[in-house]
Structure 1
């Protein structure tokens, strides 16, 4: 396993898109020593190795890096059966899946005898965020066996955590009528064919609705090309040049290893992609990787695609609200950024996750044991005020509070804005 760790270090220091920006951030010698100690004590297992690698990767401060224990994944991942979000010094239950003893709205004041403030300091490396509402506590829950629970009446009790088999994620691409407004939910952009099918199946409703609400608060990302069929609806009739004033250049780290890994993935994607526009994009991407293989950091030539990025909009809808949150990541954030270019769109909620600085992931696999996903591209932003990892800011910021668990505060604000006609786009 030491050799695998050394290969991971090499990838992060040479193939990772942030290898130059974050040079010296990592401390591989410290973690290699930990692996050697575990080996001497006969405690080096797939699980302990995974923990050490994940701990090493934290120093890169990039939520687009994933290390997976494949054998554990095959056995089935487990979690505590619920999710939480921090407000002040409590962790509120926001979602319940398998853990039926809990309900949304109740809160934990401590875990393992430590207050939330104490835990925040202890796990500061994992919780690197600018605001408590952006902290991800769900992995930290896995490290504790119990917590001090307060129900809605303020009654305290000790709650012992159980482990449940994690249910597979089910995407949602849906359109419905909500209070006379078209409501669209997009939980990811991973399936361009499915999203195109949704658009075509609801074409009449999409074209006739005067106002839309698009919910991407929990969008897991995927591929930007998946939302291209929505662009004519999102943009004003006079059109918008989406290629102009992006404020950032995308630069790819075209090492030979990256090129080989990405080419395999692109070939697999082409095998299952039917939409012609999507296939053209993948083929151009494939060509650029082949042309620039081994050249280091390079800006790809997407001029064939950029020429088509002046998008004229349709008369309807006239008003669009996009709901966003910290759980919106990757291509979901790109979607929000594109939406902000339209005078028809107002974005409300909370800033997105902040993953777009590094993207276009590829992976290296070690047999049936481990897999490392990491970004191959970075955005060189020209905005001096931009803070890396801060996400795409909404036009209207709505702080998260426990009231969101009682009613959909964001949706009510969206309806208020639509009824008043006060859009805040460009």
Structure 2
């Protein structure tokens, strides 16, 4: 293909991504770098029974939310599930990610909300840029609704807490929406933690996240480089100190050693959080689009007696985590894990991944036009 001039950066990326599927690791990525244009079909779907329901649109305006795909290239949806098990990597319909599967097909058979059926030739669009959402709104006199779409940086969250300081000290109820959280760093929500726990000192069991870090020479070089880049941008002294400690005590100290058990060295199994009295009730909305640091956030919330997690299990990608980045020129990057959870060898609650909610609400097409999770959260708060 390369000799014929047919191997584009996008096609090469797709070939490598397909190869990586066999590792069965949702925390393993091969991406085009920012300088390279990425394309998708301009919409996103979620499966319910034998249909793929359009839940969101970016560039594809021929669909409406609530339309459903019956088949792709005349192959019914349930046959597609069986055919593309490698890409879907899931056993539950509501957890499947169909974006890469749909991009392989040309024609979709679509039924609209009135029952009309038509065929649409699928198009590819330049991928829409991600728009972070870190917001707080008042639902009623006693309830705040906070939406956090990522934990990439602590600044947006800290700014929200500062801006709404008075609200936080007066509101009885807080709803935190991390259903679409893309992850990042668990340091980013440090200053939010006190609102999640009851007043006084709370001891948190973190043994669930006991892990070994693979401190090879290559991993150390890449991680130290990434940390130093981050330190140049970071102004907050507390976060700088934590990053420096991560660099020095893990990667510089153990460089070239291989797998290192950091839990014993850092006494990770128990962690203390000093909580506050207000808010009295916290509800966290979760879904399988919430992963990485989002998984950790929801796990932490489940340790608090004043938090109820509601929705669906999180993505559950932290079996292998602490991603390192290897870049090639200005075109490609491989993001791969440098740590591995001990529980993979010792204990496993069940085969299904993700942090499970306290109150499970199955996804149905009704979620498309109505925020059922938020309604249930408000009912829960009123009962309390």
User: Alignment partner for residue 393 of structure 1, among 346, 356, 379?
Assistant: 356
Q: TM-score, normalised by structure 1?
A: 0.85
1:405 aligns with 2:368: yes
1:270 aligns with 2:213: no
Q: Are 1:247 and 1:383, in contact at CA under 8 Å, matched by a contact in 2?
A: no
Pair 97,47 (structure 1): closer, same or farther in 2 beyond 3 Å: closer
Q: 2:334 is paired with a residue of what secondary structure? A: strand
Q: 1:312 is paired with a residue of what secondary structure? A: strand
CA displacement 1:249-276 (0-9 Å, x = unmatched): 1210000000000000000111111122
Instruction: Provide the C-alpha distance between the structure 1 equivalents of 2:326 and 2:294, rounded to a whole number of angstroms.
Output: 25
- The equivalent residue for 2:112 is 151
Instruction: Provide the C-alpha distance between the structure 1 equivalents of 2:15 and 2:225, rounded to a whole number of angstroms.
Output: 28
Q: Give the length in aligned residue pairs.
A: 381
User: Alignment partner for residue 196 of structure 1, among 149, 152, 158?
Assistant: 158
CA displacement 1:294-339 (0-9 Å, x = unmatched): 1111023696796993112111000000000010010011000000
- The equivalent residue for 1:220 is 182
- The equivalent residue for 2:340 is 378
Instruction: Provide the C-alpha distance between the structure 1 equivalents of 2:269 and 2:92, rounded to a whole number of angstroms.
Output: 39
Pair 101,307 (structure 1): closer, same or farther in 2 beyond 3 Å: closer
Q: 2:101 is paired with a residue of what secondary structure? A: helix
List gaps (5 residues or longer) in structure 1: 1-37, 422-426
- The equivalent residue for 2:101 is 140
1:96 aligns with 2:57: yes
CA drift at 1:90: 0.2
1:333 aligns with 2:295: yes
| Greater fraction strand | 2
CA displacement 1:85-143 (0-9 Å, x = unmatched): 00000000001122222211111111111100111111111011020110000121211
CA displacement 1:7-36 (0-9 Å, x = unmatched): xxxxxxxxxxxxxxxxxxxxxxxxxxxxxx
Q: 1:130 is paired with a residue of what secondary structure? A: coil
User: Alignment partner for residue 134 of structure 2, among 158, 173, 188?
Assistant: 173
Instruction: Provide the C-alpha distance between the structure 2 equivalents of 1:379 and 1:301, rounded to a whole number of angstroms.
Output: 11
Instruction: Provide the C-alpha distance between the structure 2 equivalents of 1:227 and 1:56, rounded to a whole number of angstroms.
Output: 35
User: Alignment partner for residue 350 of structure 1, among 296, 301, 312?
Assistant: 312
Q: Are 1:355 and 1:389, in contact at CA under 8 Å, matched by a contact in 2?
A: no
Q: Are 2:210 and 2:268, in contact at CA under 8 Å, matched by a contact in 1?
A: no
User: After the TM superposition, which of the residue ranges 55-64 and 307-316 deviates more from structure 2?
Assistant: 307-316
RMSD across aligned C-alpha pairs, in angstroms?
2.0
1:233 aligns with 2:191: no
Q: 2:60 is paired with a residue of what secondary structure? A: coil
Instruction: Provide the C-alpha distance between the structure 2 equivalents of 1:187 and 1:47, rounded to a whole number of angstroms.
Output: 27
Instruction: Provide the C-alpha distance between the structure 1 equivalents of 2:124 and 2:13, rounded to a whole number of angstroms.
Output: 19
List gaps (5 residues or longer) in structure 2: none
- The equivalent residue for 1:206 is 168
User: Alignment partner for residue 218 of structure 2, among 253, 257, 281?
Assistant: 257
Instruction: Provide the C-alpha distance between the structure 2 equivalents of 1:193 and 1:100, rounded to a whole number of angstroms.
Output: 35
- The equivalent residue for 1:80 is 41
User: After the TM superposition, which of the residue ranges 281-290 and 307-316 deviates more from structure 2?
Assistant: 307-316
Instruction: Provide the C-alpha distance between the structure 2 equivalents of 1:249 and 1:265, rounded to a whole number of angstroms.
Output: 23
